[in-house]
Chain A
């Protein structure tokens, strides 16, 4: 089947109108009668024992309905079964500045905030750990008592014979790379609304409904059940529109549990929405990572061995940490052909907000190191970096040395595409000083082949219901977070059924209505929920086809459904008389109504015919079967689930996406400023089901990588974040964002839905090394620490000239708060005052007048 009517065409997302008009509802846009506001009291200390919490004064405040603390819900939870180390609110001690201590439910923001000030907490500060390498040596005052040396988890993997590989190498490069901490900074701050119903039979608090900004409604339902000691059947999680996730909403975030605990105590619905500063504390972003990497190669650039030691600064809780540290090692494989790998990974606890999953989970920082080192080796051996990558390609179908199965592999074409488009062969190494080109590649999983909670459960299930009017309702647990999963689902179903997209309505991510889907993370939705949707549509289509065959007196194999029309293969009117078809389709709506009665009877009496409308076929099927529903599910095949070694569960995927990129940059040698002019990004997504959405995902990934490469960084001082605001965190604005050209490569995966693979994450990892390699091409300095700020670029340029190192920030730290009290919880905002929209004439006036 090469001709598609719905997929492969660029279409607006099915929820686009609600977003453009503001009528679409996100969690914070929702309200209920009697709704209370929840506000959380956060820890001012990075590590301290809670001696006493006294809420008496706060409770006396008019308008305070309930106050909850750790004692109200002491059950531990965590996203990973091996990492149940969090509680809704701190029990016994706090582990980072911003840790959750108490929650007030009150009638207004104002009252709730006043109440927070009236809660008396007595702390006994403990020594705190901020540097992972120091933390690994800790023997007392451990962050979690059951984690010796503050090591959450360490893995030591050997595949092939790495030592022998280095012996066989003609050259080996070895260096340390550092990537600093970044966070998702999704535009929508996390928000949760929790409400209990009263059980009519007991007269007491009954079922809980939670609306939340989550990528994982079913995990949320599961963790709420653990914490609240309620059966999952008594908890309904609904995901409204989500304003971006990038991994930051892919696990249970403290406010989601706290809102439910507070609602239980207040006996009224409670909504908590984080402030932007709280979003930074909730974090779960990409950890600061130290990578010691050694790569051995033959003279021609062929890799013989890789040894990689990774230390991740994981923050105070496990979160996804064990998975992150495993991804860092596992995805050394499946991009290039590497015969021997040694990997030592350490996930370390520190007294900072917990790191978790962020776009390109676990792979991004190691990929930066790897692709940079390849470039260094190519320069040293006088090889073309593009050629060196071609030398090391995989030969699929294959299983890598660490047990990853690779079927479709569009990387060779991706590399060729960016070579051609960027003019690589003429321009690389030949541009004037200060300007350069750099290349890098990356890849990512299309969903994890093994789910977090090991079981035989399918990872995705989709149900379909079709009514007599020909309306198709699809129920999927997959969480639309802006990536387009609802649109993808509608497209796949419409394509399989042969009906128009406008007939298909998607109901998603409501645990009462939709069948289970493990969530929107690890780029799994198109591949897995897409496959489930395809199977559900095929299931229901069988019934339509059988009924239509019966009505047209032909074999089911002869029935064709396409573009809302059903006909017998070879029927004249199918192709020869499109006008009569149009007329029939135009009157179809009226027919659809009348068909339920007399006309249907008339048609029946007319006897066999050779074509009918989609509605007629649907009505026939319902009359025949008494109902029209279908279901389909997807579980990754056994052969894609990886090896048997400890930690083998993470890394395997049914399919991998591939990306190659070239960045064109210039470097100002006076200021150290790096300007990216353009990035060419070729991405193998298997098949682009909706090209405009694929381009959006690829460009968005590259852009986010660019932010991490040049300017984004969480800055810490004694466990206190110094830049918890959107202006200070420096997410790139439009003037800092270069043109990004997306080139879609379609390798047509044998197991993906219509051949599709992931598109939303895989491109990110290549961007950072592509820029770093371009900086090398431009000015000959090698930057081994991300982000490449002007300060770091200048330092590298000075070092190259042999000039003395200058600490640019020495003695000019204007902030210097040592405690949270001095910090006041809102240091940056306090000094800054409101900004004005750039179009606001008052801003121009203020600028001219010199004061705002």
Chain B
């Protein structure tokens, strides 16, 4: 298939790429940009391992045409680390056993990051509900809840400290 020139903005950088017009976003990220953090697992958008954020919204890159997302802000798991180190959520997934084989972890990162950005204090039910877009075959999800809960609690503590500081 003939290639066409597209411009994708990924993790704050703009890339000009020549790709066939039927290229999937996941393929372009993995093969053209070498951003292999987003994974291919189900081929049919049922598992969430390929989740990326498009303008802040989690989407399944394995069934999206890359050319349709020009002009959007795309964030992959490679773009969420904090100052060259682990973001709190990434650290917590390690500490609490939220990832085992790790293949689904990047997808979960993108989904949970969206959840906490939109709902900083979710109930257990809301966390469970949000995670249902992604499949994990190792953990049974339990330790992910602990990790997410730890991040929320730490964030709350920081916020209340900051508030206290501001009052003084």
- Take A15-B102, A243-B102, A840-B57 as given contacts and tell me if A727 and B44 are in contact as well, using a CB distance cutoff of 8 Å: yes
CB pair A20 B138 closer than 8 Å: no
Q: A702–B139 Cα gap in the complex (Å)?
A: 10
- 8 Å CB interface, A455-486 against B: 481-484
Any B CB within 8 A of the CB of A84: no
| Most A C-beta atoms less than 10 A away, residue of B101, B106, B142 | B101
- Chain B residues touching A, majority SS: loop
CB pair B42 A25 closer than 8 Å: no
**Count of A-B contacts with CB under 8 A?**
218
Any A CB within 8 A of the CB of B150: no
Which A residues lie within 8 Å of B96 (CB)? Answer: 692
The smallest beta-carbon distance between B165 and chain A, in angstroms, is 30
Any B CB within 8 A of the CB of A734: yes
| Most B C-beta atoms less than 10 A away, residue of A702, A706, A838 | A838
Number of interface residues, chain A, beta carbon within 8 A: 70
CB pair B101 A734 closer than 8 Å: no
Which A residues lie within 8 Å of B100 (CB)? Answer: 13, 244, 482-484, 696, 700
CB-CB contacts of A533-558 with B at 8 A, as 1s and 0s?
Answer: 00000000000000000000000000
Which B residues lie within 8 Å of A828 (CB)? Answer: 44
Number of interface residues, chain B, beta carbon within 8 A: 66
The smallest beta-carbon distance between B23 and chain A, in angstroms, is 10
Any B CB within 8 A of the CB of A495: no
- Take A836-B45, A838-B132, A840-B59 as given contacts and tell me if A16 and B94 are in contact as well, using a CB distance cutoff of 8 Å: yes
Q: A25–B140 Cα gap in the complex (Å)?
A: 23
CB pair B42 A482 closer than 8 Å: no
Which A residues lie within 8 Å of B128 (CB)? Answer: 734-735
Q: A13–B139 Cα gap in the complex (Å)?
A: 14
The smallest beta-carbon distance between A229 and chain B, in angstroms, is 34
Contact with B105, one of A19, A245, A703, A737 (Cβ below 8 angstroms): A19
- Take A20-B105, A22-B35 as given contacts and tell me if A834 and B135 are in contact as well, using a CB distance cutoff of 8 Å: no
Which A residues lie within 8 Å of B114 (CB)? Answer: 839
Which A residues lie within 8 Å of B49 (CB)? Answer: 187
The smallest beta-carbon distance between B67 and chain A, in angstroms, is 16
Any A CB within 8 A of the CB of B30: yes
- In the complex formed, the residue of B with least CB distance to A480 is B101
15 A–B contact pairs at CB < 8 A?
Answer: A17-B90, A19-B105, A186-B103, A186-B137, A189-B40, A243-B104, A273-B40, A692-B96, A692-B143, A700-B138, A727-B42, A731-B135, A735-B128, A835-B60, A836-B45
Contacts A21-B90, A241-B101, A733-B131 aside, 13 further interface pairs with beta carbons under 8 A come to A16-B94, A20-B89, A20-B90, A21-B86, A22-B37, A28-B40, A184-B137, A188-B103, A244-B103, A704-B137, A834-B63, A835-B45, A837-B51
Binding site for A on B (CB under 8 A): 1, 20, 30, 34-49, 51, 57-60, 63-64, 76-78, 81, 86, 89-91, 93-97, 99-106, 109, 111, 114, 128-143
In the A-B complex, the 10 residue pairs with the closest CB atoms: A22-B37, A482-B101, A19-B102, A703-B140, A243-B103, A16-B94, A12-B94, A834-B63, A727-B46, A29-B36
Binding site for B on A (CB under 8 A): 10, 12-13, 15-26, 28-29, 31, 110, 184-189, 241-246, 273, 275-277, 481-484, 692-693, 695-696, 699-700, 702-704, 706, 725-727, 731, 733-735, 737, 739-740, 828-829, 832, 834-841
